[in-house]
A and B are shown apart, each in its own frame.
Chain A
Amino acid sequence: MLFQPAIIALLLASGIAVAMLAAAAPFAVQVIRQWDIASGSERQLMLERRTYLFSTLAAFVMAVQLVALLLFVFNADRMAEMFVGAMCAVGTLNVNPYGFPALLAQMAVFFLAGAWLALNHVDTRAPDYPLVRIKYALLLILLPALLLSFGLQLKYFLGLKADVITSCCGSLFSGDAKGLAAEVAALKPLPAMVLFYGAIAVSAGLTFLHARTGQVGYAAAAASAAAFVATLVGVLSFISLYLYEHPNHHCPFCILKPEYGHQGYWLYLPLFAATAAGLGVGALQPFRRVPSLREVVPAVSKRLAQAATIGFLLVAAIATAMIAKSNLILIE
């Protein structure tokens, strides 16, 4: 199973990311311990020169991780036909116990990478490397996360056996099943709709407010995270039902399939992008008073907030369009 192009690409992306960050770790430690912008010593100037290389390297690693999540999900969906019992990505991810943890780890890496890229972006726009220590400390924190993600992916892909009979999404996301996903799926459509549209309205409103005034940065980030969760709840509870035009089919992965016109990507891409942008706003807030970033952080933060607003509004519009064109009636 390992010799699937997508699996090779994912393992390479993950493995190279771990290798690159591991190679950069000694430099990161050196920066954290020895950086002194006031000094003109040979060591300091060497650190300043090398920081370009390492920051570019790390930015590349993080950008690849953003794309890797999309490939991971696409691959899980595409491989469903290889396993008995699998109807969509859920079946593929259920082939062994590492599938869903690997997906969750990749999602965590996606958001962490997004936040790091936002920090790196503002740091490179100031003349005095104001976040260099923080940036490299975060890299050291990201390394175990990437390592975990790589380990889980490796275990998962190595454990993919074609003779395993896996369970389909119906068993995981039906109202009768057990577990958090099933409980969320069993949520009544009306409260889930209120939660979804309410969370989207709050997050779009707060990110819009931040883009206009520069205020409520932390609240906008928190609302973005809440809107992400509320949207996933909404997909499980009612959006998927409208899309499938089936009152008991709650799967959040089947919507990615060609039978449904890959509509899930239209929903998930703006959702993940908007959430990452919203969380990026929060990641930048602690540094808005750093003297050399007083103009940079608000400008970048506002742009991220604008992207988040547009993304969340797109999510709401796409979900509404899915509901509007459906023949299913869930709420009389």
Chain B
Amino acid sequence: MIELKAIRKAFNQGQPNEFWALNGIDLSIEAKKVTVLRGPSGSGKTTLLTIVGCLARPTSGRVRLAEDDISGLPERFLTGIRRSTFGFVFQQFNLVKGLSALENVMLPAFPTGRPHRELRHHAESLLDRLKLAHRREARVEWLSGGEQQRVAIARALVNDPKILIADEPTANLDTALSREFMGILESLNAEGRTVILTSHDPLVVESAAVHRVVSMRDGQLVEN
């Protein structure tokens, strides 16, 4: 479903501190599976994840999503794809402080023009499913780490994306919460969603919910 071909990504290109975060990645990521990108810090897994999710463009190479080249799309089309195809759960969650959990979940759906009442109902059902219905009016900064992550997951799901992307999702969670997160992922995958994660947490990598682990080092795939 997602095909990466000869992906290279440089930061500060042409400068003395030029750094190649990715150096020739060829990878196919299967649809409706859970794939983990594993590697040490600086191996390029987050950079690769941002390229897959259209948050960044490669310096060279192409990304195909269901046969469509998405790496070369003009920005107006990328915005639509990001909004409708991908849901993102960031390592630091990136929730908007001062807004309630419910408002945070609804936020990515506002540009779609979906009727407010319908959107609110959908957001509430997502929070309910993630056992956060009682905290929906609470400001996000008042929530615990595990609750914040579940709000982030609900927000990633609000536009009903086919692909869920999570960057180091268990980095800030204890063992119990990490297990709970993997359980949520498993259920989302069972619904037919593709899940792509980065992690070096053994609890994630060795989880039964994971179908494939792709190892990276120094911007290249180590094994596939």
Binding site for B on A (CB under 8 A): 37, 40-42, 44-45, 48-49, 52, 124, 127-129
Contact = CB atoms under 8 A, between A and B. Distances in A.
B75 A52 contact: yes
Given A40-B5, A40-B6, A124 B74 contact: yes
Interface residues of B, number: 16
B76 A41 contact: no
Contact of A42 (B60, B75, B76): B60
Contact of A45 (B5, B59, B74, B76): B59
Contact of B57 (A41, A49, A127, A128): A49
A49 B62 CA distance: 14
A45 B75 contact: no
Contacts of A48: 72
B146 interface: no
B161 interface: no
A119 to B, nearest CB: 15
A242 to B, nearest CB: 49
A37 B74 CA distance: 12
B104 interface: no
A37 B72 contact: yes
Nearest to B68: A127
A42 B76 CA distance: 21
A124 B73 CA distance: 10
A41 B60 contact: yes
A281 to B, nearest CB: 24
Contact of B60 (A40, A124, A127): A40
B74 A127 contact: yes
Interface in B147-162: none
Nearest to B70: A127
19 contacts: A37-B72, A40-B5, A40-B6, A40-B62, A40-B71, A41-B60, A42-B8, A42-B60, A44-B72, A45-B57, A45-B58, A45-B71, A48-B72, A49-B57, A52-B74, A52-B75, A127-B73, A127-B74, A129-B74
B77 A45 contact: no
Contacts of B6: 40
Interface in B1-40: 5-6, 8
B61 interface: yes
A129 B74 CA distance: 8
A41 B59 CA distance: 8
A155 B62 CA distance: 51
Contact of B59 (A37, A42, A52, A127): A42
A121 to B, nearest CB: 12
A127 B5 contact: no
A129 B58 CA distance: 18
Contacts of A45: 57-60, 71-72
